[in-house]
Amino acid sequence: EVQLAAPAGFAGKALTEEESEILEKKGTEMAGSGEYNKFQPSQGYFACRKCGKPIYSYAAKFESGCGWPAFDKCYEGSIVARAEDDGTGRTEITCAGCEGHLGHVFVEGAHGGARSDQRHCANSRALQYVKAAPPAAAEVTLPV
């Protein structure tokens, strides 16, 4: 956990070219390539890599086998969900703090270990794990 963690008080960072491609241009990392895909922390939270807004608790992370980090709930007010306008029928999720592209949310049957019927597939490069006490915010599912 330590090598993948940002310090407490993480408030975003200057983006690399690869991070900018995802967060600012709605890119997608290759399935299975993200640093948080198989990462299962025992504490902390995941924040937006661009602005530092807390997005997911460590408890929201689960193994879905989809090739991207998967989460079942988010912090209330952390994400904006919008239907894609590209004909795919997908729902895009963006950071409510900076509008950075995080990934997509799918509503489907429950996965093993998930606490809801939602699977948030997020790009690792859009998130930053913070090994610190998570915010005292409610975790919710999105109205999609």
Active site residues: 121
Count of other CB atoms within 10 angstroms of residue 126: 28
- Within 8 A by CB and 6+ apart from 132, the residues are 7, 8, 9, 10, 44, 45
Distance of CA 74 to the CA centre of its chain: 8
Using DSSP's 3-state secondary structure scheme, residue 118 falls into strand
Question: Which pair of structure tokens corresponds to residue 80?
Answer: 């904006």
